[in-house]
Structure 1
Amino acid sequence: MMMDTNTVQQLESWGSLITGLGVPLIFIDHHASHPETVKIADVYISDEDASSTCEIVYGFYKELGLKPTAEEAKALFLGISFDTKHFILATSKTFRIAADLIEEGVDAQEALSLLALPMDASERIARLKACQRLKILRLGEWIIALTHIGAYQASAARALIDMGAHLTVVAGEKDGEVQVSLRSSREFYEKTGIHLGRDLAKPLGEQLHGMGGGHSTSAGVNGFGTVEEALEKAERILKKNIPASKQ
Protein backbone atom coordinates (compact mmCIF):
# COMPACT_ATOMS: atom_id res chain seq x y z
CA MET A 1 0.00 0.00 0.00
CA MET A 2 1.30 3.43 -0.97
CA MET A 3 -0.03 6.60 0.59
CA ASP A 4 0.38 10.32 -0.09
CA THR A 5 2.33 9.91 -3.33
CA ASN A 6 1.03 9.84 -6.87
CA THR A 7 4.16 8.41 -8.52
CA VAL A 8 6.42 5.52 -7.53
CA GLN A 9 9.34 7.52 -8.91
CA GLN A 10 9.13 9.80 -5.89
CA LEU A 11 10.33 6.80 -3.88
CA GLU A 12 13.54 6.60 -5.94
CA SER A 13 15.12 3.09 -5.59
CA TRP A 14 12.16 1.86 -3.53
CA GLY A 15 9.85 2.53 -6.46
CA SER A 16 11.28 -0.19 -8.72
CA LEU A 17 11.43 -2.56 -5.75
CA ILE A 18 7.73 -2.09 -4.99
CA THR A 19 6.55 -2.45 -8.60
CA GLY A 20 8.67 -5.60 -8.98
CA LEU A 21 7.17 -7.43 -6.01
CA GLY A 22 4.31 -8.87 -8.04
CA VAL A 23 1.72 -8.14 -5.35
CA PRO A 24 -1.47 -6.05 -5.59
CA LEU A 25 -0.76 -2.32 -5.29
CA ILE A 26 -3.13 -0.02 -3.40
CA PHE A 27 -2.75 3.76 -3.66
CA ILE A 28 -4.45 6.24 -1.32
CA ASP A 29 -3.69 9.83 -2.18
CA HIS A 30 -4.99 13.38 -2.39
CA HIS A 31 -2.73 14.66 -5.17
CA ALA A 32 -3.74 15.00 -8.81
CA SER A 33 -3.67 11.45 -10.19
CA HIS A 34 -0.91 10.41 -12.57
CA PRO A 35 -1.94 8.15 -15.48
CA GLU A 36 1.09 5.87 -15.09
CA THR A 37 0.24 5.27 -11.44
CA VAL A 38 -3.40 4.57 -12.24
CA LYS A 39 -2.24 1.94 -14.76
CA ILE A 40 -0.22 -0.08 -12.26
CA ALA A 41 -2.66 0.27 -9.34
CA ASP A 42 -5.00 -2.57 -8.42
CA VAL A 43 -6.92 -0.18 -6.18
CA TYR A 44 -6.63 3.60 -6.53
CA ILE A 45 -8.39 5.83 -3.98
CA SER A 46 -8.00 9.54 -4.60
CA ASP A 47 -9.70 12.69 -3.35
CA GLU A 48 -8.12 15.92 -4.59
CA ASP A 49 -10.51 17.94 -2.43
CA ALA A 50 -9.06 16.43 0.74
CA SER A 51 -6.48 18.56 2.53
CA SER A 52 -4.31 15.53 3.19
CA THR A 53 -4.22 11.77 2.86
CA CYS A 54 -4.79 11.55 6.61
CA GLU A 55 -8.14 13.24 6.05
CA ILE A 56 -9.07 10.43 3.63
CA VAL A 57 -7.93 7.80 6.13
CA TYR A 58 -10.02 9.39 8.88
CA GLY A 59 -12.99 9.07 6.53
CA PHE A 60 -12.45 5.29 6.53
CA TYR A 61 -12.78 5.26 10.32
CA LYS A 62 -16.05 7.18 10.08
CA GLU A 63 -17.48 4.94 7.35
CA LEU A 64 -16.66 1.81 9.37
CA GLY A 65 -17.94 3.27 12.63
CA LEU A 66 -14.51 2.94 14.26
CA LYS A 67 -12.72 5.24 16.68
CA PRO A 68 -8.96 5.75 16.32
CA THR A 69 -6.77 4.95 19.30
CA ALA A 70 -5.03 7.86 21.03
CA GLU A 71 -1.83 7.13 19.11
CA GLU A 72 -3.67 6.84 15.78
CA ALA A 73 -5.59 10.06 16.43
CA LYS A 74 -2.35 11.90 17.16
CA ALA A 75 -0.74 10.56 13.98
CA LEU A 76 -3.74 11.65 11.90
CA PHE A 77 -3.74 15.10 13.52
CA LEU A 78 -0.02 15.53 12.82
CA GLY A 79 -0.43 14.47 9.19
CA ILE A 80 -3.28 16.90 8.63
CA SER A 81 -1.40 19.70 10.41
CA PHE A 82 1.72 19.19 8.31
CA ASP A 83 -0.01 19.00 4.94
CA THR A 84 -2.19 22.05 5.63
CA LYS A 85 0.80 24.11 6.86
CA HIS A 86 -0.61 24.28 10.38
CA PHE A 87 -4.17 24.64 9.02
CA ILE A 88 -3.44 27.60 6.74
CA LEU A 89 -4.77 25.52 3.81
CA ALA A 90 -7.55 23.86 5.81
CA THR A 91 -11.19 23.66 4.79
CA SER A 92 -14.22 23.62 7.08
CA LYS A 93 -14.20 19.82 6.80
CA THR A 94 -10.57 19.77 7.93
CA PHE A 95 -11.38 21.77 11.05
CA ARG A 96 -14.29 19.45 11.87
CA ILE A 97 -11.98 16.45 11.63
CA ALA A 98 -9.35 18.19 13.76
CA ALA A 99 -12.02 18.90 16.38
CA ASP A 100 -13.06 15.23 16.34
CA LEU A 101 -9.44 14.15 16.87
CA ILE A 102 -8.99 16.61 19.74
CA GLU A 103 -12.12 15.16 21.35
CA GLU A 104 -10.46 11.74 21.01
CA GLY A 105 -7.66 13.01 23.25
CA VAL A 106 -5.16 14.77 20.99
CA ASP A 107 -3.33 17.64 22.69
CA ALA A 108 -3.21 20.12 19.80
CA GLN A 109 -0.59 22.38 21.36
CA GLU A 110 1.75 19.50 22.14
CA ALA A 111 1.23 17.93 18.70
CA LEU A 112 1.88 21.16 16.80
CA SER A 113 5.07 21.76 18.80
CA LEU A 114 6.45 18.51 17.37
CA LEU A 115 6.32 20.04 13.88
CA ALA A 116 8.24 23.17 14.91
CA LEU A 117 11.73 21.79 14.30
CA PRO A 118 14.69 24.22 14.45
CA MET A 119 16.44 24.90 11.13
CA ASP A 120 20.03 23.67 11.05
CA ALA A 121 22.97 25.55 9.53
CA SER A 122 23.08 23.52 6.30
CA GLU A 123 19.44 24.33 5.52
CA ARG A 124 20.02 28.02 6.22
CA ILE A 125 23.05 28.05 3.91
CA ALA A 126 21.08 26.25 1.17
CA ARG A 127 18.37 28.91 1.35
CA LEU A 128 20.96 31.68 1.06
CA LYS A 129 22.63 29.97 -1.92
CA ALA A 130 19.23 29.73 -3.59
CA CYS A 131 18.89 33.50 -3.27
CA GLN A 132 22.43 34.02 -4.56
CA ARG A 133 21.71 32.05 -7.76
CA LEU A 134 18.25 33.44 -8.29
CA LYS A 135 16.76 34.30 -11.66
CA ILE A 136 13.70 36.55 -11.47
CA LEU A 137 11.14 36.37 -14.25
CA ARG A 138 8.22 38.78 -14.68
CA LEU A 139 5.20 37.35 -16.48
CA GLY A 140 2.42 39.90 -16.48
CA GLU A 141 1.71 40.80 -12.87
CA TRP A 142 3.47 37.68 -11.56
CA ILE A 143 6.99 37.36 -10.15
CA ILE A 144 8.56 33.96 -10.85
CA ALA A 145 11.74 32.88 -9.03
CA LEU A 146 13.95 30.15 -10.53
CA THR A 147 17.11 28.81 -8.88
CA HIS A 148 19.11 25.67 -8.07
CA ILE A 149 20.80 24.18 -5.00
CA GLY A 150 22.17 20.77 -4.06
CA ALA A 151 19.75 20.06 -1.21
CA TYR A 152 16.76 21.48 0.67
CA GLN A 153 14.98 22.46 -2.56
CA ALA A 154 11.55 22.40 -0.91
CA SER A 155 12.73 24.57 1.97
CA ALA A 156 14.23 27.13 -0.41
CA ALA A 157 11.06 27.16 -2.52
CA ARG A 158 8.96 27.93 0.56
CA ALA A 159 11.39 30.65 1.65
CA LEU A 160 11.24 32.40 -1.73
CA ILE A 161 7.44 32.49 -1.56
CA ASP A 162 7.68 34.05 1.90
CA MET A 163 10.11 36.63 0.46
CA GLY A 164 7.61 37.78 -2.16
CA ALA A 165 7.70 35.51 -5.22
CA HIS A 166 4.35 34.36 -6.59
CA LEU A 167 5.80 31.10 -7.94
CA THR A 168 9.14 29.38 -7.31
CA VAL A 169 11.03 26.68 -9.19
CA VAL A 170 14.00 25.22 -7.30
CA ALA A 171 16.03 22.46 -8.97
CA GLY A 172 18.73 20.14 -7.69
CA GLU A 173 20.91 17.60 -9.50
CA LYS A 174 22.68 14.43 -8.37
CA ASP A 175 24.22 11.66 -10.48
CA GLY A 176 22.33 12.65 -13.62
CA GLU A 177 18.99 12.82 -11.86
CA VAL A 178 17.19 16.07 -11.21
CA GLN A 179 14.65 17.00 -8.55
CA VAL A 180 12.48 20.09 -8.74
CA SER A 181 10.39 21.65 -5.99
CA LEU A 182 7.54 23.95 -7.02
CA ARG A 183 5.59 26.36 -4.84
CA SER A 184 3.13 29.16 -5.54
CA SER A 185 1.11 31.62 -3.52
CA ARG A 186 -2.59 31.06 -2.98
CA GLU A 187 -3.23 34.34 -4.82
CA PHE A 188 -1.41 33.06 -7.90
CA TYR A 189 -3.46 29.86 -8.00
CA GLU A 190 -6.79 31.57 -7.40
CA LYS A 191 -6.25 34.24 -10.06
CA THR A 192 -4.57 32.14 -12.77
CA GLY A 193 -6.15 28.74 -12.15
CA ILE A 194 -2.71 27.18 -12.70
CA HIS A 195 -2.48 24.00 -10.61
CA LEU A 196 1.21 23.24 -9.99
CA GLY A 197 0.77 19.48 -9.83
CA ARG A 198 -1.36 19.21 -12.96
CA ASP A 199 -0.19 22.13 -15.11
CA LEU A 200 3.54 22.36 -14.33
CA ALA A 201 4.88 19.32 -12.46
CA LYS A 202 3.19 16.70 -14.65
CA PRO A 203 4.34 18.07 -18.06
CA LEU A 204 7.77 18.98 -16.67
CA GLY A 205 8.20 15.45 -15.34
CA GLU A 206 7.31 14.00 -18.73
CA GLN A 207 9.77 16.31 -20.51
CA LEU A 208 12.51 15.22 -18.09
CA HIS A 209 11.65 11.54 -18.74
CA GLY A 210 10.43 11.16 -15.18
CA MET A 211 7.29 11.96 -13.22
CA GLY A 212 5.81 14.94 -11.47
CA GLY A 213 2.72 15.81 -9.49
CA GLY A 214 1.38 17.44 -6.38
CA HIS A 215 -1.05 20.02 -5.07
CA SER A 216 -2.40 23.26 -6.47
CA THR A 217 0.28 25.34 -4.73
CA SER A 218 2.93 22.71 -3.91
CA ALA A 219 4.39 20.09 -6.23
CA GLY A 220 7.53 18.19 -7.14
CA VAL A 221 9.28 16.55 -10.08
CA ASN A 222 11.82 13.73 -10.39
CA GLY A 223 13.54 13.19 -13.72
CA PHE A 224 16.79 13.04 -15.63
CA GLY A 225 19.04 15.78 -16.96
CA THR A 226 20.63 18.92 -15.60
CA VAL A 227 19.30 21.73 -13.45
CA GLU A 228 19.74 24.06 -16.41
CA GLU A 229 17.51 21.87 -18.57
CA ALA A 230 14.91 21.57 -15.81
CA LEU A 231 14.75 25.32 -15.22
CA GLU A 232 14.63 26.11 -18.95
CA LYS A 233 11.79 23.65 -19.53
CA ALA A 234 9.87 24.94 -16.50
CA GLU A 235 10.24 28.51 -17.74
CA ARG A 236 9.00 27.50 -21.19
CA ILE A 237 5.90 25.81 -19.73
CA LEU A 238 5.15 28.83 -17.57
CA LYS A 239 5.51 31.28 -20.45
CA LYS A 240 3.10 29.15 -22.46
CA ASN A 241 0.49 28.84 -19.72
CA ILE A 242 0.45 32.13 -17.87
CA PRO A 243 -0.56 34.43 -20.77
CA ALA A 244 -3.58 32.18 -21.41
CA SER A 245 -4.61 32.08 -17.75
CA LYS A 246 -7.30 34.18 -16.12
CA GLN A 247 -5.80 37.46 -14.99
Structure 2
Amino acid sequence: MLCAGESRIELTPKGITLKAPKVSIAGIESVSVQGDGPRLRLDKEAEVVAETVRIYASESSVELDKDAHINGKLVKLNCGPLDPDDMTGEDGTPSLQHLKLKLTDVGMTPYAHKDYVLKSLGVKIEGKTDGDGVLEADLPAEARTAEVTLWVEPRPTGKTKRYVIALGELADPDSVPGIESRLRNLGYYWGQSQTEITGDLARALRDFQQDHGLESTGRADAATRAKLVEIHGT
Protein backbone atom coordinates (compact mmCIF):
# COMPACT_ATOMS: atom_id res chain seq x y z
CA MET A 1 0.00 0.00 0.00
CA LEU A 2 1.23 3.49 -0.91
CA CYS A 3 -0.18 6.36 1.18
CA ALA A 4 0.08 10.15 1.04
CA GLY A 5 -2.22 12.10 3.35
CA GLU A 6 -5.80 11.03 2.58
CA SER A 7 -4.79 9.32 -0.67
CA ARG A 8 -3.74 5.73 -1.09
CA ILE A 9 -3.10 3.05 -3.69
CA GLU A 10 -3.72 -0.52 -2.58
CA LEU A 11 -2.44 -3.50 -4.58
CA THR A 12 -3.82 -6.97 -3.82
CA PRO A 13 -4.05 -10.23 -5.79
CA LYS A 14 -7.72 -9.41 -6.45
CA GLY A 15 -7.23 -5.93 -7.80
CA ILE A 16 -6.03 -2.35 -7.47
CA THR A 17 -7.84 0.22 -5.35
CA LEU A 18 -7.28 3.98 -5.59
CA LYS A 19 -8.81 6.19 -2.91
CA ALA A 20 -8.37 9.95 -2.63
CA PRO A 21 -10.41 13.12 -2.13
CA LYS A 22 -9.95 13.72 -5.87
CA VAL A 23 -8.74 11.36 -8.59
CA SER A 24 -7.69 12.66 -12.02
CA ILE A 25 -6.65 10.55 -14.98
CA ALA A 26 -5.18 12.32 -18.00
CA GLY A 27 -3.70 10.76 -21.11
CA ILE A 28 -1.55 12.83 -23.46
CA GLU A 29 -3.08 11.10 -26.48
CA SER A 30 -5.90 8.95 -25.15
CA VAL A 31 -7.45 7.17 -22.17
CA SER A 32 -9.03 3.73 -22.42
CA VAL A 33 -10.95 1.76 -19.80
CA GLN A 34 -12.22 -1.77 -20.38
CA GLY A 35 -14.19 -4.19 -18.24
CA ASP A 36 -15.71 -7.59 -18.97
CA GLY A 37 -17.02 -6.47 -22.36
CA PRO A 38 -17.89 -2.75 -22.04
CA ARG A 39 -15.19 -0.22 -22.82
CA LEU A 40 -14.64 3.53 -22.80
CA ARG A 41 -12.18 5.34 -25.05
CA LEU A 42 -11.33 9.04 -24.83
CA ASP A 43 -9.10 10.81 -27.34
CA LYS A 44 -10.28 13.49 -29.74
CA GLU A 45 -13.60 11.66 -29.64
CA ALA A 46 -15.46 9.77 -26.92
CA GLU A 47 -16.60 6.21 -27.53
CA VAL A 48 -18.70 4.06 -25.19
CA VAL A 49 -19.24 0.44 -26.22
CA ALA A 50 -21.52 -2.01 -24.42
CA GLU A 51 -24.47 -4.27 -25.12
CA THR A 52 -26.57 -1.91 -23.00
CA VAL A 53 -25.83 1.71 -22.06
CA ARG A 54 -27.87 3.42 -19.34
CA ILE A 55 -27.83 7.06 -18.29
CA TYR A 56 -29.97 8.12 -15.33
CA ALA A 57 -30.87 11.53 -13.93
CA SER A 58 -33.30 12.44 -11.14
CA GLU A 59 -36.46 12.16 -13.29
CA SER A 60 -35.27 11.09 -16.73
CA SER A 61 -33.22 8.37 -18.38
CA VAL A 62 -31.69 7.16 -21.62
CA GLU A 63 -31.29 3.44 -22.23
CA LEU A 64 -29.66 2.04 -25.36
CA ASP A 65 -29.86 -1.64 -26.22
CA LYS A 66 -31.55 -3.02 -29.34
CA ASP A 67 -33.76 0.05 -29.14
CA ALA A 68 -33.28 3.58 -27.86
CA HIS A 69 -35.45 4.46 -24.85
CA ILE A 70 -35.70 8.11 -23.79
CA ASN A 71 -37.87 8.84 -20.76
CA GLY A 72 -38.71 12.08 -18.99
CA LYS A 73 -41.54 14.43 -18.12
CA LEU A 74 -40.70 16.28 -21.33
CA VAL A 75 -38.41 15.01 -24.09
CA LYS A 76 -36.87 17.76 -26.23
CA LEU A 77 -35.19 16.98 -29.53
CA ASN A 78 -33.28 19.54 -31.60
CA CYS A 79 -34.62 22.29 -29.35
CA GLY A 80 -33.47 25.82 -30.06
CA PRO A 81 -34.46 29.10 -28.43
CA LEU A 82 -38.12 29.75 -27.82
CA ASP A 83 -39.77 32.11 -30.25
CA PRO A 84 -40.27 35.45 -28.45
CA ASP A 85 -43.78 35.50 -29.90
CA ASP A 86 -44.55 32.42 -27.77
CA MET A 87 -43.38 34.08 -24.53
CA THR A 88 -46.46 36.16 -23.80
CA GLY A 89 -48.60 36.94 -20.80
CA GLU A 90 -52.28 36.14 -20.36
CA ASP A 91 -53.21 39.35 -22.20
CA GLY A 92 -51.06 38.37 -25.18
CA THR A 93 -48.37 40.99 -24.61
CA PRO A 94 -44.69 39.95 -24.66
CA SER A 95 -43.55 38.59 -21.29
CA LEU A 96 -39.81 38.99 -21.73
CA GLN A 97 -36.75 40.40 -20.07
CA HIS A 98 -33.66 41.32 -22.04
CA LEU A 99 -30.31 40.02 -20.86
CA LYS A 100 -27.08 41.67 -21.94
CA LEU A 101 -23.73 40.42 -20.64
CA LYS A 102 -20.18 41.44 -21.39
CA LEU A 103 -17.77 38.61 -20.63
CA THR A 104 -14.09 39.36 -20.05
CA ASP A 105 -11.04 37.86 -18.42
CA VAL A 106 -9.63 39.27 -15.17
CA GLY A 107 -7.71 41.89 -17.16
CA MET A 108 -10.99 43.11 -18.74
CA THR A 109 -10.01 41.71 -22.16
CA PRO A 110 -13.28 40.69 -23.86
CA TYR A 111 -14.00 37.06 -24.62
CA ALA A 112 -14.73 38.00 -28.25
CA HIS A 113 -16.30 35.63 -30.78
CA LYS A 114 -16.55 32.77 -28.28
CA ASP A 115 -19.16 30.01 -28.39
CA TYR A 116 -21.66 29.93 -25.55
CA VAL A 117 -24.76 28.09 -24.36
CA LEU A 118 -27.28 30.03 -22.28
CA LYS A 119 -29.99 28.22 -20.29
CA SER A 120 -32.81 29.78 -18.30
CA LEU A 121 -36.24 28.43 -17.32
CA GLY A 122 -36.44 25.93 -20.17
CA VAL A 123 -34.95 28.27 -22.75
CA LYS A 124 -31.67 27.20 -24.36
CA ILE A 125 -29.81 29.61 -26.62
CA GLU A 126 -26.53 28.91 -28.42
CA GLY A 127 -24.40 31.47 -30.17
CA LYS A 128 -21.17 33.46 -30.20
CA THR A 129 -20.26 36.59 -28.30
CA ASP A 130 -19.65 39.66 -30.45
CA GLY A 131 -16.35 41.48 -30.91
CA ASP A 132 -16.73 43.14 -27.50
CA GLY A 133 -17.46 39.89 -25.67
CA VAL A 134 -21.18 40.72 -25.44
CA LEU A 135 -24.07 38.29 -25.60
CA GLU A 136 -27.71 39.35 -25.67
CA ALA A 137 -30.89 37.30 -25.35
CA ASP A 138 -34.59 37.61 -24.59
CA LEU A 139 -35.64 35.39 -21.68
CA PRO A 140 -38.97 34.70 -19.97
CA ALA A 141 -39.91 37.55 -17.63
CA GLU A 142 -40.38 35.15 -14.71
CA ALA A 143 -36.84 33.72 -14.97
CA ARG A 144 -34.71 34.55 -11.93
CA THR A 145 -31.43 32.91 -12.89
CA ALA A 146 -29.51 32.07 -16.05
CA GLU A 147 -26.57 29.74 -16.60
CA VAL A 148 -23.93 30.46 -19.22
CA THR A 149 -21.28 28.01 -20.43
CA LEU A 150 -18.59 29.85 -22.39
CA TRP A 151 -15.89 28.14 -24.44
CA VAL A 152 -12.72 30.21 -24.05
CA GLU A 153 -10.99 27.61 -26.23
CA PRO A 154 -12.43 25.87 -29.32
CA ARG A 155 -15.70 24.03 -28.75
CA PRO A 156 -16.44 21.30 -27.80
CA THR A 157 -13.32 20.00 -26.04
CA GLY A 158 -11.67 23.33 -25.16
CA LYS A 159 -11.55 25.01 -21.78
CA THR A 160 -14.84 26.45 -20.56
CA LYS A 161 -16.05 28.94 -17.99
CA ARG A 162 -19.42 28.69 -16.26
CA TYR A 163 -21.40 31.65 -14.99
CA VAL A 164 -24.58 31.63 -12.90
CA ILE A 165 -26.38 34.95 -13.31
CA ALA A 166 -29.02 36.38 -10.97
CA LEU A 167 -31.66 38.10 -13.08
CA GLY A 168 -33.48 41.24 -12.01
CA GLU A 169 -33.55 44.97 -12.49
CA LEU A 170 -30.49 46.89 -11.33
CA ALA A 171 -30.97 49.67 -8.84
CA ASP A 172 -30.29 53.23 -10.01
CA PRO A 173 -26.54 53.91 -10.40
CA ASP A 174 -26.96 56.97 -8.16
CA SER A 175 -27.95 54.71 -5.23
CA VAL A 176 -25.71 52.66 -2.94
CA PRO A 177 -27.37 49.35 -4.00
CA GLY A 178 -26.88 50.32 -7.65
CA ILE A 179 -23.20 51.10 -7.14
CA GLU A 180 -22.68 47.94 -5.11
CA SER A 181 -24.40 45.70 -7.69
CA ARG A 182 -22.30 47.05 -10.53
CA LEU A 183 -19.07 46.67 -8.57
CA ARG A 184 -20.10 43.13 -7.67
CA ASN A 185 -20.88 42.24 -11.28
CA LEU A 186 -17.52 43.64 -12.39
CA GLY A 187 -15.68 41.52 -9.81
CA TYR A 188 -14.61 44.31 -7.46
CA TYR A 189 -16.85 43.50 -4.50
CA TRP A 190 -17.83 40.20 -2.85
CA GLY A 191 -18.99 41.32 0.57
CA GLN A 192 -22.38 41.70 2.21
CA SER A 193 -24.91 44.26 1.03
CA GLN A 194 -24.40 47.68 2.57
CA THR A 195 -26.46 50.84 3.00
CA GLU A 196 -23.44 53.16 3.02
CA ILE A 197 -20.20 53.28 1.03
CA THR A 198 -17.78 52.40 3.79
CA GLY A 199 -15.26 49.67 4.61
CA ASP A 200 -14.86 46.97 1.96
CA LEU A 201 -17.32 48.66 -0.40
CA ALA A 202 -15.33 51.91 -0.30
CA ARG A 203 -12.12 49.94 -0.94
CA ALA A 204 -13.75 48.24 -3.91
CA LEU A 205 -14.79 51.63 -5.26
CA ARG A 206 -11.23 52.95 -4.85
CA ASP A 207 -9.90 49.92 -6.75
CA PHE A 208 -12.36 50.61 -9.57
CA GLN A 209 -11.41 54.30 -9.66
CA GLN A 210 -7.70 53.49 -9.76
CA ASP A 211 -8.18 50.96 -12.58
CA HIS A 212 -10.06 53.47 -14.71
CA GLY A 213 -7.99 56.61 -14.30
CA LEU A 214 -10.17 58.34 -11.71
CA GLU A 215 -9.15 59.96 -8.46
CA SER A 216 -9.06 57.13 -5.92
CA THR A 217 -11.27 58.65 -3.19
CA GLY A 218 -13.72 55.84 -2.41
CA ARG A 219 -16.54 58.33 -2.97
CA ALA A 220 -19.21 57.87 -5.63
CA ASP A 221 -18.90 61.22 -7.37
CA ALA A 222 -20.52 61.98 -10.72
CA ALA A 223 -17.45 60.95 -12.74
CA THR A 224 -17.26 57.61 -10.93
CA ARG A 225 -20.95 56.86 -11.40
CA ALA A 226 -20.69 57.71 -15.11
CA LYS A 227 -17.66 55.46 -15.52
CA LEU A 228 -19.47 52.61 -13.70
CA VAL A 229 -22.35 52.86 -16.16
CA GLU A 230 -19.94 53.05 -19.10
CA ILE A 231 -17.93 50.00 -18.07
CA HIS A 232 -20.81 47.91 -16.69
CA GLY A 233 -23.60 48.99 -19.01
CA THR A 234 -26.86 50.48 -17.85
When the two structures are superposed, what TM-score results if normalisation uses the length of structure 2?
0.29
Which structure shows the higher strand fraction?
2
Higher helix share: 1
Larger Rg: 2
Q: Which has the higher contact order (CA 8 A, sep 6+)?
A: 1
- TM-score, normalized by length of structure 1? 0.28
